[in-house]
Amino acid sequence: MTSNTALLKEPDGLKYYGAATGYVIAAYALGFAGLFHPQWWVFLIATLMLAHSMTIAAYLIHECGHNLVFTDRRHNAQLGRFMSWVCGAAYGTYEDIRYKHFRHHVDNDDVVWFDYDRFFDEHPLLTRFIRLLEWFYIPAHDLLMHTVMVFTSFVIPARRKQRVRNVTVILIRGGVFVTLLMIVPKVALLYAVAYLVMMHILRFMDSLQHDYPYSTTLFDYVQPPHKGDPEWEQRHTFSNPLCLRFPKLNWLTLNFGYHNAHHANMNAPWYRLPELHEEMTGNDPQRVIPLSSQLRLYHRNRVRRIYNPQPADYPTGADYLRVARSGAGPIGGNAASFLTSF
């Protein structure tokens, strides 16, 4: 057994996870440095590069959360924590992100603490303002969720013991951002734009992958009705790859669109999901939501989905897939990112 085999979950991980991790570090460094460049086309490319590096960092947290990179859980946690600093998710803990995400898999449910539909119902003026911003493609709903994440130990009673750590992260990240804002405001602004782009990418990929509503049982456990039912899980999970014809284009999101394959075997690393998807579906295009429909739904429902409780006739299962494939209909979520631990 080689040292690489002993360290990594599987030998191919050195190539694929090594490349992904190296890309995150290199693209983040080059992208951030490019924000200082005076030429507009350079700092525009740099902003997109920075946004994509943070996006891949977020998806690597997902891989680490499933213990897919290293053999030892501690090493997965260490890489996951590092990536959480890269993509701005370090205000809460990696363990909290992982716990909530595994509840999603084990319970076959969207388990949350923050009841945002109720919050929007109780704050109509703020809801109108968020809808206005979303009309202009500013991900205000995600910004609200990010604010809760930033002040997690002050907002969530169950996380009060994390206050010292939470404040430390706020001071470090906030201090760096304020310093940039004072010295080179252009760089601070472009970093913020890059972060908003990352938010758009993550929720774009998340928004159509399940048809069930959220359940506010993160801390108040209630026996989930569909726990341990893989057939129900597959029936209410949907795949939205960027492209079936050219599968390597899906590397742009670490194959996150092959969602049925991921739920069928959450121990399969990202680079094996296309093969698993083909085994499950024969790459039948009728079994996935095409990119054109995803884009139409993301555009048309960008305001409606902010506060859109599911009615009794909300499409589910095969009906949901049919509506999603058509690119029309009031479907899709908005705040189900695996980076939010509440």
Q: Are residues 183 and 300 in the same domain?
A: yes
Task: Give the tens place of pLDDT for each residue, 104-137.
Answer: 999 998 888 999 889 999 999 999 999 999 999 9
Looking at the chain, the whole-number percentage of residues with pLDDT higher than 70 is: 97
With cut-offs at 50, 70 and 90, classify the pLDDT of residue 1: very low
Per-residue pLDDT, averaged over 201-220, amounts to 91
CA 24, CA 20: separation in Å to the nearest integer? Answer: 6
Average pLDDT over residues 215-242: 92
Residues 65 and 203 placed together within one structural domain of the fold: no
pLDDT digits (tens, 9 = 90+) for 19-49: 999 999 999 999 999 999 999 999 999 999 9
Check whether residue 303 and residue 173 sit in a common domain: yes
- Residue 73: exposure state from Cβ atoms within 10 A (0-12, 13-18, ≥19): exposed
Whole-number average pLDDT of the chain: 94
Greatest extent of the chain over all pairs of C-alpha atoms, in Å: 62
Confirm whether pTM is higher than 0.85.
yes
Tens digit of pLDDT for each residue in 130-181? 999 999 999 999 999 999 999 999 999 999 999 999 999 999 999 999 999 9
Model confidence at 2: pLDDT above 60: no
Clarify whether residues 133 and 35 are in a common domain.
no
Domain assignment of residue 213, yes or no = yes
Is the same domain home to 136 and 205?
yes
Which domain does 142 fall in, by range?
Answer: 109-238+289-342
Burial of 175 (0-12, 13-18, 19+ CB in 10 A): exposed
pLDDT beyond 80 at 65: yes
Domain count for the chain: 2
Cα 55 from Cα 253, distance rounded (Å): 7
155/186 same-domain check: yes
Q: Which residues does 304 contact at the CB level (< 8 Å), separation at least 6?
A: 330
Which of 30, 53, 87 is at the close of a domain?
A: 87
Question: Looking at the domain assignment, is residue 328 inside a domain?
Answer: yes
In a domain, 267, yes or no: no
Joined together, the tokens standing for residue 120 give: 């929007």
